[in-house]
Structure 1
């Protein structure tokens, strides 16, 4: 039997959740814990935002640069949200095909695009109680508490039934939620031969 043919397809993990849920922090914790695993890739997204703007580690590009990348097939998945454009590099498809576990910061609105691009997709939905989300967002100082609460009440914290979803409540200690994410990712690794 050809060993390459026996190798299982890898898996794309799209991490989603509302602002303030702690996606970037939990992904950083998991990336540190799995740093020595050659079959695990944490994706650096391409975003039309200055790379020095803070938040997640990303590759910042202009709208014109994004257009060139998108038109030349540089993205496996791309989408617009909150006045920005986001792209997942095309080489992630090769990594999944090679049997890797590939983890990317995604968006609930882009999940159908992820599903179309990757044969195997697992969604990790990071959530937190509304009061916790509101407190975290208020600490950022960008909106009033009332505006934050109105926005949170209008949004859904769930993911549709069309996806394989792991939900992690990050309302408590980061160490606990980080451990749950690491265990979920390690469990997915065991399903890839």
Structure 2
């Protein structure tokens, strides 16, 4: 899928002059990305200078650990054609969209934080001139333990998947890595610290 940046958004006059920063949080399955984003959202609750994006996803509203807007594939495609997304992509059989109203938030100088995907970072870079990537990761041993605890895959399947997957972000992006192999409290402090610095920029 292409970023909806290829379509002209309603507020395209703000395209190259957005004052805010888009922070996209990525990471492999099992790294704890959703949990850390939820903790960060709780920390920044009530802040007018920070906006957490509610993604549009073609999955059930109760699925996953993320507050998202659930839509059918047909509705998603219609929204995409109408230019409703700043960025959209497909992964693991699902479609994901970042609503175009994030441009309004950025134009107000806010820090906008979105749950993203490493495979879609080129779309984010095309859409947002001020992009920060936060890569949540963990050791392969920790990732394997967490994934197997979910009971969705066999040990062999998990280990094979981890062997062929990269834990780092590939490409020339402004990236901060947060290792969530230790305690959740340590990783929570780390992501909040990174976001606090971005808010002050």
TM-score by length of 2: 0.90
SS of aligned partner of 1:157: coil
Alpha-carbon RMSD across the aligned residues, in angstroms, is 1.2
Aligned pair count? 185
DSSP-derived class of the 1:114 partner? helix
* Stretches (4+) displaced over 6 A: none
Q: What is the rounded CA distance, in whole Å, between the counterparts of 2:154 and 2:103 in structure 1?
A: 41
Q: 2:77 aligns with which of 50, 67, 81?
A: 67
Alignment of 1:32-111 (within 5 A): 32-111=42-121
Query: Which residue of the partner structure matches residue 21 of structure 2?
Result: 11
How many angstroms apart in 2 are the aligned matches of 1:8 and 1:75?
17
User: If the length of structure 1 is used for normalisation, what is the TM-score?
Assistant: 0.93
User: For 2:64 and 2:166, how far apart are their aligned partners in 1?
Assistant: 26
1:149 pairs with 2:159: yes
**Structure 2 unmatched runs, 5+:** 1-16
Question: Partner residue of 2:10?
Answer: none
**Aligned residue runs from structure 1 range 122-137, under 5 A:** 122-137=132-147
Q: Secondary structure, in 3 states, of the residue corresponding to 2:87?
A: strand
CA separation in 2, counterparts of 1:179 and 1:148?
A: 29
Query: Separation in 2 of the partners of 1:129 and 1:160?
Result: 17
Aligned partners of 1:130, 1:47: CA distance in 2, in Å?
A: 28
